[in-house]
Amino acid sequence: MVAALAGPAAAQDLTPEERRTIEIFRRARPSVVFITSLALRRGLFTLDVQQIPSGTGSGFVWDREGHVVTNFHVIQQGDAFSVTLADQSEWEARVVGAAPEKDLAVLKIRAPREHLTPLAPGTSRTLLVGQHVYAVGNPFGLDHSLTTGVVSALGRELRSPSGRRIRDVIQTDAAINPGNSGGPLLDSGGRLIGVSTAIFSPSGASAGIGFAVPVDTVTRLVPQLIARGRAIQAGIGASFIPERFNKAVGVTDGVALAEVQPDGPAAKAGLAGAQLTRSRRVVLGDRIVAVDGKPVRSEDDVRDLFEAAGVGATVTLTVARQSARRDVRVALAQD
């Protein structure tokens, strides 16, 4: 009799906050998946090709067409992939698109629509430090996990697997362990506000500092990855001299153009790249020192401002050649 009453009695003792947390987890659980990444390796003696596990992580259902969102680093080392849904059904998956510069990837599975429960997206633009967040994952493929916390900070920066800077990253104290990478970060309404991507920890376990890619970035990029396989990059038809060479070639400020594509926006605006003389000396062309009045010190700065403006937008570049400076208007094109 005691055992029979334990469940209802315990439920009656729950606080309103506990009830809300339980409901958030109950609704999100069917959407969160377990991802296995497999690498193809040839046997040393048999020469047979075998599939070797190369990593695992979490992800979540994006739509009823079978698209699943996760971190790029979860699938980075894999050649084949499988997705396990909340009902424990396992499905072969293929990569339809990836944005390493934002640590995002999209897989697709052929599961029936009735097996797929997409998460409702929220917004990260209006997040406030201190509001409650919930991190859901499926780190072992056997059952789901939930950790809770608050938004600890906003506007953080993180290096992606490609080395590019991810801006406006959400910092939370909700525990995000390695197996939770790619899982959703939710607000108190159960809406998606980020994709758990990294932790700061010397030991490799959660130490109360976790990071998530903001959902506003996710909702902008995922449709591009589904449609095109990659993110649409805004640019001016030019490459830049890597920062590590700045001292050697004499760049003291701004971002120097390396090559300018013929008939591209930069060329049409009269910008010139660097030239290599017969004696192998680099002669600098134009340097971008500001975009729409905002000073730039790295290629990341330039790319971030181009990304914020978007393809088709016109920006004002402040460019320098030797000691002379001028402003030029350039229409951003797809890079």
Residue 46 has a pLDDT of 52
Would you state the pLDDT for residue 10? 60
Q: Is there a contact between 159 and 34 (Cβ–Cβ < 8 Å)? A: no
Q: What does the alpha-carbon distance between residue 319 and residue 327 come to, in Å, rounded to a whole number? A: 6
Answer yes or no: are the C-beta atoms of 240 and 287 closer than 8 Å.
no
- Decide if 94 contacts 132 (C-beta within 8 A): no
Known catalytic residue: 300?
no
Is the separation of the CB atoms in 235 and 299 below 8 Å? no
- Active-site choice (54, 58, 67, 73): 73
Residue found by looking up tokens 């910008």 in the block: 271
Amino acid at 125: R
pLDDT attached to residue 207: 60
Closest C-alpha to 62, from 195, 257, 236, 237: 195
The amino acid at 250: G
Which domains are assigned to the chain?
132-228 (2.40.10.10), 234-334 (2.30.42.10)
301 is catalytic: no
Distance between CA atoms of 177 and 139, rounded to whole angstroms?
8
Other beta carbons within 10 angstroms of residue 30's beta carbon come to: 18
Q: Decide if 163 contacts 298 (C-beta within 8 A).
A: no
Tens of pLDDT, residue by residue, the chain (335 residues)? 334 444 555 667 889 899 999 999 999 999 999 999 887 655 555 545 455 556 788 999 999 999 999 999 999 888 899 999 999 999 999 999 999 999 999 999 999 999 999 999 999 999 999 999 999 998 776 678 899 999 999 999 888 887 888 888 999 999 887 778 899 999 999 999 999 997 765 555 556 689 999 999 999 999 999 999 998 889 999 999 988 888 888 888 899 999 999 989 999 999 999 988 888 888 899 999 999 999 999 888 999 899 889 899 999 999 999 888 999 999 999 87
Note the helical H segments in the chain: 2-12, 16-28, 72-75, 215-228, 246-249, 265-268, 299-309
Helix, strand, or coil here: 18?
helix
Q: Residue 265 has what DSSP assignment? A: H
Q: What would the pLDDT profile of 193-245 be if each residue is shown by its tens digit?
A: 999 997 765 555 556 689 999 999 999 999 999 999 998 889 999 999 988 88
In b/e form, how buried is each residue of 53-67, taking b as 16+ CB within 10 angstroms?
ebbbbbbbbbbeebb
Closest among 190, 21, 41 to 121, alpha carbons compared: 190
The one catalytic residue among 54, 58, 67, 103: 103
Residue 264: how many other CB atoms lie within 10 Å = 18
Q: Yes or no: say if 156 and 165 are a contact pair by the CB < 8 Å rule.
A: no
pLDDT (tens digit per residue) in 23-41: 999 999 999 999 998 876 5
* Matching residue, tokens 């730039």: 296
Look at residue 1 in the predicted model and tell me its pLDDT.
39
Q: Which stretch of DSSP H or E encloses residue 130? A: none
Give pTM, 2 decimals. Answer: 0.80
Backbone angles phi, psi at 255, to 5 degrees: -125, 120
Cα gap 127→170, rounded to integer Å = 9
Find out whether 181 and 175 touch, Cβ atoms under 8 Å: no
For residues 78 and 62, give the distance between their C-alpha atoms in angstroms, rounded to a whole number.
21
Structure tokens at 176: 């995000």
Backbone torsions φ then ψ of 200, nearest 5 degrees: -105, 110
- Tokens coding 94: 């293929």
- The token pair at 322 is 């030797």
Q: Out of 82, 145, 181, 196, which one is annotated catalytic?
A: 181
- In this structure, what token pair is assigned to residue 162? 């490609």
* pLDDT of amino acid 167: 85
